Structure 1
Amino acid sequence: MLWLRSALFNLFFYAWTAFVSVSMLPALLWPRVLGVKVAKGWIAGVNVGLRLICGVRVEVRGRERMPEGPVLIAAKHQSAWDTIELLAICGMPAVVLKRELTWIPLYGWYIMAMGGIPIDRSAGARALKDMVRQAKLAVAQGRSVLIFPQGTRVAPGRKLEYQPGVAALYSQLGLPCIPVALNSGLVWPRRQFLRPSGTITVEFLTPIPPGLRREPFMTTLEARVEAASDALAALARPSSGP
């Protein structure tokens, strides 16, 4: 049953994505606010498919910790789910992503239309400067900025160094940083076909106020996100039964 559910969901996911991407091409010419509505509709459809086909539910904790106005959101990244659902959960922020994703036909076009922040990770310091410049423009428009501090998907239980990009944004934007923990890798594992049932939990943690020096900020951010993500993984292991 798990294999069958996973096959049905993957078929639904790609069919739904293709339908929305092609039918909504005119949205690329619309103001961003209308493109956001299209993206939210697509994301809602993915969630419905996960719930009805795979038995996956989503729980969000700590919304009350999100202040009004733009913030820097630093989220754990375990799954492709994060790049889809966190946009809606976090209020459609400007998301920092690797430039190569914008080269994907249709998908990349929508990312740019949504005001994403692509970075060339091979460009070193120049990439950081360009990322900060684009992030400041987004904040000036009243948008929050979302970054995955480890720069890639990391399976539950694995550890990977936090990259300097999040520290650059924190110091230059002067915004509170909202750490976000999650356990999505349990039910949408990286590069795996199966989609076990279970509950994905996203937790907004205690904000880190602006103004900390680099080292205490990075230490605080990593400690909070890793501890909370480990706790969520320990509390929720997916079911592979019928």
Structure 2
Amino acid sequence: MRWVMSFLFVVQMYGMMAIMGIVFLPWALISKQGARAACKTYCRWVRFTARWMVGLRTEVRGPIPRDEVLIAAKHQSFLDIILIFGAIPAGKFIMKRELMWAPVIGQYALRIGCVPVARGKRGQAIAKMLSDVDRGAADPGQLIIYPQGTRIAPGVKAPYKVGTALLYEQTGQPCVPAATNVGLFWPRKGIYRKSGLAVVEFLPRIEPGLGRDAFLARLQNEVETASNALMKEAGFDAQT
């Protein structure tokens, strides 16, 4: 029965994405605020239906950043995107370039100021990312990056990439680390959704001025430690 409800939840979630994309389109074309309103409305809908249909409650902890900062977040599934974007006033993501051509998601992501980055050639990708961020510097908001570069399943270790440290240096903005346990309930792949409490937690900010290596080491330690604590709270011990 839970698999059936999970399937129905996923179907309606993507169906509503298309419906909201169409309904909000005229406003989104006129104003970025319209595109942002569409995305935030969708985030609220997903959280509501996740609780109602599959018993998945969601919570955002910690001081929510509202000024211009770099948010470096643990990425386990689509749900942490929903929770982070829904909580902050003007989020924009560093996203993989392939998403530009995804129906609805790609068009709205570009409209709210997300920065597409091509995977593959590391040096060129980083240079392009920094250049694009510079060009978008006049558009205020919270820039969100996933330091590991992709969704990482709970308990799996993956390195933190240098691009986050370069952005931290270049923008001169504080970095707000963000931890999560959402992958325990909403996996990176598949349909099945578990009941429970999925959490994203904003951690104390890292102020500008650290060297590249020191920043990356601190970021990794704080995000991984906090994420492991959230997962352990939910009954999963990442250390075993």
TM value normalised by structure 1: 0.92
Within 5 A, what are the aligned runs for 1:133-152?
133-152=131-150
Within 5 A, what are the aligned runs for 1:1-242?
1-63=1-63, 66=65, 69-237=67-235
Instruction: Indicate the SS of the match to 2:59.
Output: strand
1:19-68 Cα distance to aligned partner (Å, 9 max, x none): 1123333244121012111111111111111011111111221126x3x5
- 2:181–2:200 Cα contact (<8 Å) kept: yes
Distance in 2 of aligned mates of 1:28 and 1:130: 26
CA RMSD in angstroms, aligned pairs only: 1.6
Amino acid at match of 1:132: L
1:189-227 Cα distance to aligned partner (Å, 9 max, x none): 011211000111111112111111111101000000001
- 2:25–2:35 Cα contact (<8 Å) kept: no
Distance in 1 of aligned mates of 2:234 and 2:46: 21
1:14 shift after superposition: 1.8
- 2:116–2:129 Cα contact (<8 Å) kept: yes
- 1:24–1:38 Cα contact (<8 Å) kept: yes
1:138-187 Cα distance to aligned partner (Å, 9 max, x none): 44322121000000000111110111110110110111111000001011
- 1:179–1:205 Cα contact (<8 Å) kept: yes
Instruction: Indicate the SS of the match to 1:206.
Output: coil
- 2:28–2:34 Cα contact (<8 Å) kept: no
Instruction: Indicate the SS of the match to 2:84.
Output: helix
Distance in 1 of aligned mates of 2:163 and 2:27: 31
Runs of 4+ in 1 over 4 A off after TM superposition: none
Unaligned regions of 5+ residues in structure 1, if any?
A: none
1:17 shift after superposition: 1.3
Unaligned regions of 5+ residues in structure 2, if any?
A: none
- 1:179–1:206 Cα contact (<8 Å) kept: yes
Amino acid at match of 2:19: F
Aligned residues: 236
- How high is the sequence identity, in percent, across the aligned residues? 39
